[in-house]
Amino acid sequence: MFKSAVNQHGAQVAMRIKEYGLWHDISWNDYFERVECVGAALISLGMQKDECISIIGDNCHEWVTIDLGIQCVGGIAVGIYATNAAPQVQYVVENSDSSFLFVENEEQLDKWFTFRDEVPKLKKVVVWDLEGLRSFEDEMVMTYTDLLELGKKELEKNPSLIQKRLTEVEPDDTAVLIYTSGTTGPPKGAMLSHRNVIWMANAFLHVLDISKKDEILSFLPLCHIFERMFSVFGHITIGYILNFVEKPDTVMENMVEVSPTIGYAVPRIWEKYYSNIYVKMSDADWVKKVIYNLATKIGSIRTEFKLETKKVPLHWELMYQLAYFAVFRKLKKRLGFDRMRVGISGAAPISPDVLKFFQSIGIDMVEGYGQTEGSGATCVTRVGKPKFGTVGPPVPGTEIKIAEDGEILMKSPSVFKGYFKNPEATQNTIVDGWLYTGDVGELDEDGDLIITDRKKDIVVTAGGKNLTPQYIENKLKMSPYINDAIVIGDKRKYVTCLIML
């Protein structure tokens, strides 16, 4: 897939990075050359096929280059959250039997120092950002620049080195190991094969009608399947331009500079944008407030017609175009949404009211549902056919059925191989080819999936009443003054709620 993209796009822009206030282009040819150097260097350092290699750091071109470099030579790429504490990093490195560890900077290197004696299988640690480490020396540590140089020399000596290893990689080999959050125990490593991720990239992104003319902004954690699908697998499948944020706290600023054509985020990000608009408008003068409220009312009415799949009456469409020109066009430009064709929310439930708001200002919003074990998306609402309150029909090639207890079961070529070194958990999750998602839901008359809640989250009060807390929590989080909400009531006589302002 990657070689095909490079052959097709060659000198065209693959990705953009911002350094010293300026955006710089990286071509597909440059991208491939660096990936080959990473792969060749790893082979030179003794990496064997099917070995795990861990990566920890924020979103950047080095991260994805290392990721593909590992996979191209038959390794298994293991992403670690940059915010993880040292014991959590140690757990992943140890559990995955990682032979190499790539770290972004001094902060991440310091985490390794706390457990270096506990991971004897680790052969090398590679650092790519050397700020504060210029004069640092350690026999276990090498720089990313030196690694690329080593790979270059290896390829000069043996030009067919990468090609030879590529031919040994089978579709059902594990490509990536993605660790689940571990909210119900220690994190489990989900094994996704090359076949899993290629199938999902083709199925999911084509449903969204994404083309090589599109641009995206990469800012969600790359070790999560949501961002990995867009920044790595989808990128090499379709060939759009990938832009990296400078750092996690410049997302909104970079969004305005890049103005991506496809926007995707977890619900919290969309809710944050919505809250910011609400708060700013509440501080505006009365004239702006009246105009804004009138525009949003018109936008909301137009969206209701679309939700009911009715044709928008001409007078409402004309009023909407006027509202768009006077209010929404400027609002979208300030947010960096002026070129955005499609907005995607996924990875967690979102309030339909938030989706309606963005739809009413002129962004075609869709919601996706899935899990790591299914390689990403199981269902997604269709572009141009909004239906909020559901997560849409299954991705083509995916089967959905509801178990007797309401649990959602799915079957598709994207179902993972199992949990790394955990056959018992695998047997409990995949039964007769069906993935037991742990979510509760139902199918409506159109075959669209409605998620009720997580199976483990359903509250049963002392009186025996079953409650799905998600609905109440989402309603509360719609308030611009509430950051998060957790409903508590299991085995209690009454229901309470813990709120974070």
Outline where DSSP puts E strands in 258-396.
262-265, 342-345, 364-369, 379-380
Q: Is 29 exposed, middle or buried (0-12, 13-18, 19+ CB in 10 A)?
A: middle
pLDDT (tens digit per residue) in 360-413: 898 999 999 998 999 989 999 988 887 888 899 999 999 999 998 889 999 999
At residue 190, the 3 state secondary structure works out as: strand
Phi-psi region of 145 (alpha: psi -120 to 50; beta: other; left: phi over 0): alpha
pTM score, two decimals?
0.88
pLDDT at site 478:
77
Q: How far apart, in whole angstroms, are the C-alpha atoms of residue 29 and residue 7?
A: 8
Q: How far apart, in whole angstroms, are the C-alpha atoms of residue 317 and residue 256?
A: 28
Give me the helices (H) in 158-222, please. Answer: 161-168, 194-207
**Would you state the structure tokens that stand for residue 143, as one six-digit string?**
């720089």
Categorize the per-residue pLDDT at 183 as very low, low, confident or very high, splitting at 50, 70 and 90.
low
Q: Is 479 exposed, middle or buried (0-12, 13-18, 19+ CB in 10 A)?
A: middle
Categorize the per-residue pLDDT at 250 as very low, low, confident or very high, splitting at 50, 70 and 90.
very high
pLDDT at residue 287 tops 70: yes
Q: How far apart, in whole angstroms, are the C-alpha atoms of residue 327 and residue 474?
A: 27
Long-range own/partner contacts, residues 180-184 (CB < 8 A, 24 or more apart): 180/372, 184/456
Q: How far apart, in whole angstroms, are the C-alpha atoms of residue 426 and residue 358?
A: 39
Instruction: For residues 490-501, give the mean pLDDT.
Output: 89
Categorize the per-residue pLDDT at 182 as very low, low, confident or very high, splitting at 50, 70 and 90.
low
pLDDT at residue 220 tops 70: yes
